[in-house]
Amino acid sequence: MRRITVGLTLLAGLAAWPWFGAQAESAVGPRGRDDSRGTNILIVGIDSRADISPAEKRRLHVGGEGCDCTDVMMLVHLSEDHGRASIVSLPRDSYVEYAQPDGTTTPAKHAKINGAFKIGRGPLAVRTVEKATGLHIDHYLETGFTGFEQAVNDLGGATVCTDKPLEDENSGLDITAGTHHLDGNGALRYARARHLNPPGDLGRVRRQQRMLADMLARLTAQGALADPVSAARTAHQLLTSVRADERTGLTDLVRIGWALGRLPADRTEFATVPITHFDHRVPGVGSTLLWHEARADALWDALRSDRPITGDTRILPVPETRAETNPAGITVRVDDATVAKALERNKFVVTDTSASAPAVRPAGPPAITYPAGREADAATLAAALPGARLQAVARQDALFDVAVGSEPVVVKTVTYDRNVAEGAPVTADHLRCTGSTLRHESRHR
């Protein structure tokens, strides 16, 4: 199932990260097939249950049929000076043109990027990513369900954090709010979960990236990548559960891991390919994701030129007023007809209650009353009504109320971009769990 992706990616990510770098005095550089600078590694997690027993499926909570495809894809770029790592997730449902399998001259096929592996295994998956991105892949790593679990256990578990309970029946995830230290089984459940808020692959990929950032930080803090000897020990552990291509030897992985272990969190970047259409229907293929052509091209150009992806407004334009959540999911009652219409133009779901508005408006700016626990949505509504007063209340419904006061009201146009909310380029220090979060020591639930 596609949720496996996450676990695999994590495993892959973990396994890959420690080795991706290259040391200055003996760099693992590009193989010269294009003008790219730096080193590119493709990490994939395979959705296959072919070698998993029924008992293992139940234990790992991975029932159902596997697609024999890549459920997770992460492209890791290590800069030429080894001073920065950029990790870009490629959603499994991305609609792309495949590279042609070896020895064939048939017309190129368009389908979901995850299906290339089923046709031509790792080599075709690599060439398809190269075709879609214009980047040359220097190294390739892949893993599966049990490999992910083993890798996480070998590395001492994984730390995850959440400000609300997370429960996904399909993946078996069930954790409370706070910070948790999970074993490999629990980490797999966390990584595979798709039926959470926000739903789908982008939210799952971001959670995966967050887990990876914390794992790398812990490996670095424990000295697992501090020197070639430590990096070699860690590499040996991971290579029991992660497969590398023929171009990637243990020496490469050790050198890469040593370099990565010296990167501070603000020099490690995470992003997801910008999407322009989240439900592009294709006959015979189903619902797919279309990359945002201009933004994705800017992303690949930045990596090819060995530039940072965070702060690049070509990849992620900065709107005048940004909405952190989708206004279309916020139901608002407004006691002023003009303000109601303006908010409706901003895509809020609005009910005009001006007929029951008070004859004398209360002194001051607009007041927003919202259900406790909906702080993010309240911030989105407040962005459209600058200066508004916010008040959380305990209520059973999900309604937001706007009471206009005596002061003039300016309604700003807010811009919601799902790419910003779920996949914007950020550095690892913005993803990692913080010590202020309540800690729960748990294996898995």
Q: Is the pTM of this model over 0.85?
A: no
Residue with tokens 């893993």: 143
pLDDT, residue 198, reads 66
**CA end-to-end span of the chain, whole Å?**
20
Dist CA 72 CA 113 (whole Å): 10
Dist CA 383 CA 323 (whole Å): 7
Q: Could you tell me the mean pLDDT of each successive run of 10 residues in the chain, 445 residues long?
A: 36 36 34 69 88 87 83 92 94 94 79 94 95 95 88 87 88 91 92 79 87 85 82 80 86 81 91 94 95 96 96 89 92 98 97 95 96 93 97 94 96 91 88 53 37
Dist CA 255 CA 225 (whole Å): 10
Dist CA 148 CA 11 (whole Å): 4
pLDDT, residue 4, reads 35
- Domain coordinates in residue numbering, the chain: 4-318+421-441, 322-416
Q: Give 290-342 pLDDT, tens digit per residue.
A: 999 999 999 999 999 999 999 999 998 888 898 989 999 999 999 999 999 99
32: left (phi over 0), alpha (psi -120 to 50) or beta: left
CATH number corresponding to 4-318+421-441: 3.40.630.190
Three-state secondary structure along the chain?
CCCHHHHHHHHHHHHHHHHHCCECCECCCCCCCCCCCCEEEEEEEEECCCCCCHHHHHHHCCCCCCCCEEEEEEEEEECCCCCCEEEEECCCCEEEECCCCCCCCCCCCEEEHHHHHHHHHHHHHHHHHHHHHCCCCCEEEEECHHHHHHHHHHCCCEEEEECCCEEECCCCEEECCEEEEECHHHHHHHHHCCCCCCCHHHHHHHHHHHHHHHHHHHHHHCCCCCCHHHHHHHHHHHCCCCEECCCCCHHHHHHHHHHHCCCCHHHEEEEECCEEEEEEEECCCEEEEEECHHHHHHHHHHHHCCCCCCCCCCCCCCCCCEECCCHHHCEEEECCHHHHHHHHHCCCEEEECHHHCCCCCCCCCCEEEEECCCHHHHHHHHHHCCCCEEEEECCCCCEEEEECCCCCCCCCCCEECHHHHHHCCEEHHHCCCCCCCCEEECCCC
